[in-house]
Chain A
Amino acid sequence: MLTLAALVTANDQVLASGSSSDGDGGFVGLLFMLSGFIFYALMYFRYRNANKRHHHESETEATLLNLRERDDFVQSRKGLSNRTMSGANNHEVRGARRKFF
């Protein structure tokens, strides 16, 4: 079973991403079945660039000083299904002015 997760990713790349629980067997086939929608989205963003913005979070000069770190082991987790941590927000951007709607 495949879930189309996103057409436009957080870093403004337009692509189709998916997760598959039965390997990638049906993934390519379903990607082709959505090809018209994907093509439209790709062209729309290529021409209109409605998803583009200034990446203030990485393009602004900043100096980090006197860093103190603390890392305490809590537990080991086994058999997790997701490739990334649930609720991870260390790459989150909240100050972007660009809105789609």
Chain B
Amino acid sequence: MENLNPTPPSPGPVEPAGEPTQGLRPPTVDTDSAIAENPDGEGDTPRVVQTDAGAKDGLAKCTRCGATEISLNVATGNLRCGFCRFEWSADNAMEAFGLGGDIGKLEGVVLGSGSSDIIPSTEEVLTFKCSACGAEVVIDTHSSTQARCHWCRNTLSMNQQVANGAVPDMILPFKTLKETAVASINKFVRKRRFFAHPTFLQEFNAENVMGVYLPYMVVDVNAHATLSGQGEHQTRSYTVKNGDNQQTKYDADLYNVVREFDIHVNDLTVESSSERLNQNSSHNSNNIINTIMPFDVENSVRYDSNYLAGFTSERRDSNLAELSPIAHTQAEDVTRHRVNDSLNFYDRGVRWTQEDVDVRGERWVSAYLPVWLYSYQQRRSNGKTFLHYVAVNARTGETMGSVPIHQSKLLLVSGAVQVVGTVIGVVLLVLGI
């Protein structure tokens, strides 16, 4: 036995090599009962942190002049009154709700009230009475939580949470200006003009980009992990002759490896719209929106519908029960990759045969995160359509996109490359190069 890293007590016998088994054990709570409110955090039910306390629906007025014409000033990140230009900001969500506390102290499931389960029968279209003129105003929560009164022109906001996923716990305001996003999208497409579909190039106009708040769940995980398996360290590489051929061979030392540790995963972000979760890239380009993550979610503020003015939003339609397995698998990935820092000695790799990740506590917060989205509906010759996106992370400016391809042109050029390559390849093979 050779102990490479003299460390505190051994975690126990090493499992023999075999079929890999892995498991991430959630805290001892029933996630199906996630909507059960348990403000005291007693028992096994999730502890719900009320994140819309004090929030009011209806007219949200400027504290200085009383106007309801309030919107985000993207340049400063503050809300600004359209009449008196007074600016202010909502409280930082993590601080306001105590959701940014020490992950190591997390036990059981903690969730913001805006992350509670969606009740299917909840109406999407809600009617509010305008407190300025008494008219009834309709808000379609599918795409917004604001509407303008058609009589007195005041803006009505919905800030209280209803069980349809329209109002999240927090919102991360836009930071990247539209002009910057347009320039990024133009630059992205300009680099991909040659094989781009001519109809796309004809119709492309980056000015049509839309500012969209997309729904996500932000998850913190406090877990204890034990990984065991085998690792190989290369001791020698050499070349041997096998007839006329030469082969590279390797010598390696095999070790039984165990790593036991606590892991705190911070702000793991998962899409909470079922449509965005479907990232089959042969059917859609949702992977583009996924690629522009991560966001600086720690700068999110308490939800205020005024941040949505001028933008659209997409409602959350997935619950904890659907999202938990995804978040747990991803937390397991984070765990496996994070521990690689301690495996540098095993330059040939490690084969984990047992992965136990025991989740002691987890915290779920729903959020609207900002994306500049250019979308293009391509009509294909077979009559089917495909929606392409070019997306800009409205916090970091990271840009990614899918540009429709002119298939016949690409096939023609690829064919020409193939012909030339074949000729060169034959010559090189004959020459034995």
* A residues with CB within 8 A of B: 21-23, 25-26, 28-37, 39-40, 43-44, 46-54, 56-95, 97-101
Known: A48-B403, A49-B291, A52-B288. A65 touches B7 (CB 8 A): no
Q: Give chain A residues whose Cβ lies under 8 Å from the Cβ of B196.
A: 47
Q: How far is the CB of B270 from chain A (nearest CB, A)?
A: 8
Q: Beyond A29-B427, A60-B268, A72-B3, list 7 extra A-B contacts (CB 8 Å).
A: A32-B421, A36-B417, A47-B402, A56-B334, A69-B5, A73-B1, A100-B282
Which residue from A65, A68, A90 sits with its C-beta under 8 Å from B264? A65
Q: Give chain A residues whose Cβ lies under 8 Å from the Cβ of B127.
A: none
How far, in angstroms, from A2 to B429 measured CA to CA in the complex? 12
Closest to A79 in B: B249
Overall SS of chain B's interface: mixed
Q: How far is the CB of B143 from chain A (nearest CB, A)?
A: 23
| Stretch of B75-83, B113-121, B338-346 on the interface side | B338-346
Q: How far is the CB of A45 from chain B (nearest CB, A)?
A: 10
Closest to B293 in A: A54
Known: A23-B246, A33-B422, A54-B290. A62 touches B264 (CB 8 A): yes
How far, in angstroms, from A56 to B7 measured CA to CA in the complex? 30
A60 with B267: CB separation less than 8 A = yes
Closest to B333 in A: A57
Known: A61-B266, A88-B349, A94-B333. A68 touches B259 (CB 8 A): yes
| Stretch of B46-54, B130-138, B229-237 on the interface side | B229-237
Q: Give chain A residues whose Cβ lies under 8 Å from the Cβ of B245.
A: 21-23
How far, in angstroms, from A7 to B280 measured CA to CA in the complex? 19
B281 with A100: CB separation less than 8 A = yes
B261 with A90: CB separation less than 8 A = no
B2 with A44: CB separation less than 8 A = no
A97 with B326: CB separation less than 8 A = yes
Across the A-B interface, give the 6 residue pairs with the lowest CB-CB distance, nearest first. Answer: A36-B418, A88-B349, A35-B421, A32-B425, A33-B425, A29-B428
Q: How far is the CB of A64 from chain B (nearest CB, A)?
A: 5
A89 with B268: CB separation less than 8 A = no
Closest to A25 in B: B432
A77 with B251: CB separation less than 8 A = yes
Known: A23-B246, A50-B281. A76 touches B426 (CB 8 A): no
The reply on B258 being an interface residue by CB < 8 A is yes
The reply on B195 being an interface residue by CB < 8 A is yes
Known: A50-B287, A72-B255, A90-B349. A97 touches B402 (CB 8 A): no
B422 with A71: CB separation less than 8 A = no
Which residue from A67, A72, A85, A97 sits with its C-beta under 8 Å from B271? A97
Known: A70-B3, A90-B352, A95-B332. A76 touches B252 (CB 8 A): yes
Known: A52-B400, A85-B232. A97 touches B428 (CB 8 A): no
Q: How far is the CB of A69 from chain B (nearest CB, A)?
A: 5
The reply on B177 being an interface residue by CB < 8 A is no
Known: A71-B256, A79-B251. A64 touches B350 (CB 8 A): no
Q: How far is the CB of B105 from chain A (nearest CB, A)?
A: 13
A52 with B291: CB separation less than 8 A = yes
> Which of B3, B291, B332, B410 has the most chain A CB within a 10 Å cutoff?
B291
